[in-house]
Amino acid sequence: MIIAAVKHSGMAEAAVWNYSKNMKGANATVTRKPKQNYYKQIERLLYDYKTYDTAIRNLEAELEEILPKVSTSVVKLGEGSAVSPFHSQTEDWAIKRIESPRAKRILKLLAEKKRLQKGIREVREQLTDEENILVWMRYDLEKQHQEIWEAMHMGRSTYFEFKNKLIAKIARYLGLL
């Protein structure tokens, strides 16, 4: 039996191919079953959480470079050209820059990082002290499993059961489960 991950309509699935000794190539059967990938997603979010402040600041700085600096000027109404005083080449330029693909990409990434940061922060506020200790040690300090279960005075199997339940709890809070 061979297991391979495939991408199907934006959703990861596991494809399991069963080959019998008599079946080859075109005669092989493929069965698909949805893969529970929330576990790795949650772990990635928890590992990345500590970098969100820096990432958000960097994206904001990059966006600031794209956008023109705001300056004020006094315009007397009724004087000058027939062009509206509320329309200028600078405004057109600013609109083009904020609507550029690069700016849109940065704005999208910035919104995503802020949303994830807020979600993880709110979830961590809901966790018990013991759950927060595990998250802090494993994902913020990146300690090894054995160090954590020893520090928390747990057995190996108890630790992994606790960790699995914690990841599922976080996934439920974030709407992934």
* CA 110/CA 58 separation, integer angstroms: 9
Residues 49 and 133 in one domain: yes
* Domain interval for residue 10: 2-35
Beta strands in 9-50 (DSSP E): 11-18, 29-34
In a domain, residue 29? The reply is: yes
**pLDDT value at position 12?**
39
pLDDT tens column, 37-84: 899 999 999 999 999 999 999 999 998 888 765 555 545 555 555 555
Question: Are both 22 and 101 inside the same structural domain?
Answer: no
3-state secondary structure of 75: coil
Return the SS3 of 14. Answer: strand
Q: For residues 71 and 132, what is the distance between their CA atoms, to the nearest angstrom?
A: 47
**Model confidence pTM above 0.85:** no
Phi, psi at 75, each rounded to 5°: -125, 125
Provide the pLDDT for residue 50. Answer: 96
Are residues 8 and 55 both part of a single domain?
A: no
Q: Are residues 133 and 162 in the same domain?
A: yes
Over its length of 177 residues, how does the chain's per-residue pLDDT go in tens digits? 343 343 333 333 333 333 334 444 455 454 443 346 899 999 999 999 999 999 999 999 998 888 765 555 545 555 555 555 566 766 666 666 667 888 889 999 999 999 999 999 999 999 999 999 999 999 999 999 999 999 999 999 999 999 999 999 999 999 998
Q: Tell how far CA 27 is from the center of its chain.
A: 40
167 within a domain of the structure (yes/no): yes
Number of domains in the chain: 2
Q: Are residues 128 and 152 in the same domain?
A: yes
Q: Is residue 52 part of a domain?
A: yes
Mind giving me the DSSP string for 110-144?
HHHHHHHHHHHHHHHHHS-HHHHHHHIIIIIS---
Provide the pLDDT for residue 69: 59
Please tell me whether residues 20 and 51 are part of one structural domain.
Answer: no
Domain presence at residue 76: no
